Structure formats: structure tokens, C-alpha cells
């Protein structure tokens, strides 16, 4: 079967992609340039940048303050709004992030030990679990960095028991990814959502002491990060509920699907 590519449709797709990238940059870049942010905080800015772009391209992130203020200050229709942001995770999230943090540290070790070498490594861990003491972290990170390098240059090696596989490809930078064997997430229940909202509502009294004069308080809850410790949105579930926040949104991080809960 022959498929003809409509050049005009393709041109529009490219133009729309460039437009979206430019508009997203106008939301995200001023905050990234204004603050000395860590990698995790930059990711948060990108997530919220994507969120505000999807609901209203006129919204601007004006500040990323410290507690007791909300995570972000945004401006919307002449209002100054405090925006709290969090990810809803399962009870065993520490298991996943213990491995992620180790691989992030191993990235840094690799960059230092093998300068001017860029690689993307996908690493699988036995039973998606790796227990280690904090005093063992540096040694483990260096070993993983070495195993990635030896895999990259196709040196024959025996991987340790806790690593079930390493796959490397060329890349523009050093990047280590954790590949879970059992990555499928559970569906988010209404009860789990309510629990997270109630927990965040306890912060509102602190927001009122913020240096910023805030007109409204919003909450954005993230799910769907393609890992077993996040949740999937259930199309059959009614997530609407009351809250002390003026607005509450649920956003699937992977595809940026957003629903307003309150």
C-alpha cells in the first residue's frame, strides 16, 4: 500500500512544532536563567512550563521561591498565584529512586573518569532492587561507570550479579537510564488522589505567610512517568472533588494530558 505524504501538512506540523518550542522556551527559560537550579529543579520547571503552556499560553512563571512559599509563583489574568506541584508516588518509591540516584551519581563519575566521552547507557537491575549503604555508594557508582565504559568499547566482561544488562548507544552527552523489568504502573484511585490533596492542603496556612501577596492557590499533581512507582490515569474514574485550593489539576507527565479536578 502506498502512502503519499502531504507536503503542506508536513510543513504545518514542522511550523507548529517550532512555534510550540519557542512559546515553551518563553515560559521556561527566564526562570532557568534567573535561578541557579539543580537538575531536579530544572525538571520541575520544565514540567510546570509544559503544564501552564497547555492550559493557557499567556501564563508566566514569575518566581521559584523557597518554603513556606509555594513551589512556583505564576501570573494569570492580573492575578498572582501560588502554584504547588508534586508527584503522586506509590509507597515503595524509595526502592526505585535509590537506583535512580545511584545511576545519576554514576553519570557524574563517568564524566569525570572518562572525559570527552559521550554515551547513553540503559541499565537493568536484578529484580528491580538494589540495597546498598550510603558508604558503599561511591564505590558502586564507579564500578557501574567502568562497566558502561567497557560495554561501550566492547570489552568482554562478566557483569556483577546485580546488573542484568547494559546497552550503550552514541549520544550527545553522558546519560544513564534505568530500565525496569516490571515498569507497569497501577491505576490512580480516587482515594489515593484525595490523600495527596489533603496532605498538600496542610501547607496553605504557610503560604499565607509568604513574602508574595497571593490571590489564589493552585495545586498540580503529576502522574505517569513510565515507572512502576507512578500511577496511570484511569479514564473510567471520576477524579473531581472539593479542595481548599482554588484550582487542582491532574497531569499525566508522559503525554501532558491534563484534567481539572477542582
| Same domain (yes/no): 79, 97 | no
- Same domain for 103 and 230, yes or no, is no
Residue 27, in any domain of the structure: no
Q: What is the pLDDT of residues 29-86, one digit of tens each?
A: 999 999 999 888 998 999 999 999 999 988 999 999 988 899 999 999 899 999 999 9
Question: How many Å apart are CA 159 and CA 39, to the nearest integer?
Answer: 29
pLDDT at 3 over 60: no
For residue 204, what are the CA distances in angstroms to 74, 84, 132, 208, 209?
Answer: 16, 10, 37, 7, 9
Domain C-terminal end among 178, 212, 235: 178
If asked whether residues 174 and 107 sit together in one domain, one would say: yes
Domain with residue 63: its CATH number is 3.40.1350
Least confident of 110-119, 158-167, 174-183: 174-183
Is 70 exceeded by the pLDDT of residue 7? Answer: no
68 lies in some domain? yes
**Residues 174 and 100 grouped into a single domain:** yes
Question: Is residue 28 assigned to a domain?
Answer: no
In terms of domains, do 171 and 228 share one?
Answer: no
Instruction: Let me know whether 121 and 155 are in one domain.
Output: yes
Give the CB-side neighbour count of residue 176, counting CA atoms within 13 A.
28
Nearest to 141 by CA among 120, 123, 118: 123
Q: Is residue 9 part of a domain?
A: no
State whether 200 and 230 are in the same domain.
Answer: yes
In Å, what is the CA distance from 71 to each residue of 23, 32, 217? 22, 14, 11
Q: Are residues 226 and 112 in the same domain?
A: no
Predicted TM-score (pTM) of the model is 0.83
Q: What is the mean pLDDT of residues 111-131?
A: 96
Give the mean pLDDT of the chain: 90
The number of domains in the chain is 2
Is 55 a member of any domain? Answer: yes
Residue 57 has a pLDDT of 82
203 with 84, same domain: the answer is: yes
Residue 5 falls inside a structural domain:
no
C-alpha to C-alpha distance for 46 and 126, rounded to whole angstroms: 32
**Residue at which a domain ends, from 154, 178, 202:** 178
Do 99 and 42 belong to one domain? no
Mean pLDDT, residues 2-10 taken together: 57
Cell output for 254: 508522559
118, 237: one domain = no
Same domain, 158 and 109: yes
- Residue percentage of the chain with pLDDT more than 70: 94
Q: Of the candidates 178, 204, 223, which is a domain's last residue? A: 178
pLDDT-derived band at 1 (thresholds 50, 70, 90) equals very low
Residue 210 lies in domain? 35-88+188-260
Q: Which is higher by pLDDT, 256 or 229? A: 229
4: in domain = no
Please indicate, yes or no, if residue 125 is contained in any of the structural domains.
yes
Could you read off the pLDDT of 237-248 as tens digits, one per residue? 999 999 999 999
Q: How far apart are the C-alpha atoms of 52 and 66, rounded to whole Å?
A: 20
Amino acid at each position: 500500500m502506498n502512502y503519499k505524504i502531504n507536503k503542506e501538512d508536513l510543513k504545518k506540523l514542522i511550523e507548529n512544532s517550532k512555534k510550540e518550542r519557542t512559546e515553551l522556551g518563553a515560559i521556561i527559560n527566564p526562570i532557568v536563567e534567573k535561578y541557579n537550579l539543580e537538575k531536579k529543579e530544572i525538571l520541575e520547571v520544565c514540567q510546570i512550563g509544559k503544564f501552564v503552556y497547555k492550559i493557557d499560553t499567556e501564563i508566566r512563571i514569575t518566581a521559584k521561591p523557597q518554603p513556606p512559599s509555594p513551589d512556583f509563583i505564576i501570573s494569570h489574568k492580573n492575578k498572582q498565584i501560588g502554584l504547588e506541584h508534586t508527584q503522586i508516588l506509590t509507597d515503595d518509591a524509595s526502592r526505585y529512586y535509590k537506583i535512580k540516584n545511584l545511576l545519576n551519581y554514576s553519570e557524574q563519575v563517568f564524566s569525570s573518569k572518562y572525559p570527552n566521552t559521550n554515551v547513553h547507557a540503559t541499565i537493568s537491575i536484578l529484580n528491580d532492587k538494589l540495597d546498598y549503604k550510603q558508604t558503599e555508594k561511591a564505590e558502586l557508582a564507579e564500578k557501574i561507570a567502568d562497566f558502561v565504559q567497557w560495554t561501550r568499547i566492547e570489552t568482554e566482561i562478566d557483569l556483577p550479579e546485580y546488573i542484568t544488562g547494559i546497552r550503550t548507544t552514541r549520544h550527545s552527552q553522558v546519560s544513564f537510564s534505568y530500565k525496569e523489568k516490571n515498569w507497569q504502573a497501577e491505576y490512580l484511585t480516587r482515594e489515593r488522589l484525595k490523600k495527596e490533596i489533603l496532605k498538600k492542603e496542610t501547607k496553605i496556612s504557610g503560604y499565607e505567610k509568604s513574602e508574595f501577596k497571593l490571590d489564589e492557590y493552585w495545586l498540580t499533581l503529576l502522574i505517569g512517568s513510565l515507572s512502576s512507582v507512578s500511577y496511570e490515569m484511569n479514564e473510567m474514574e471520576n477524579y473531581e472533588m472539593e479542595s481548599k485550593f482554588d484550582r487542582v489539576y491532574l497531569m499525566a507527565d508522559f503525554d501532558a494530558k491534563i484534567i481539572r479536578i477542582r
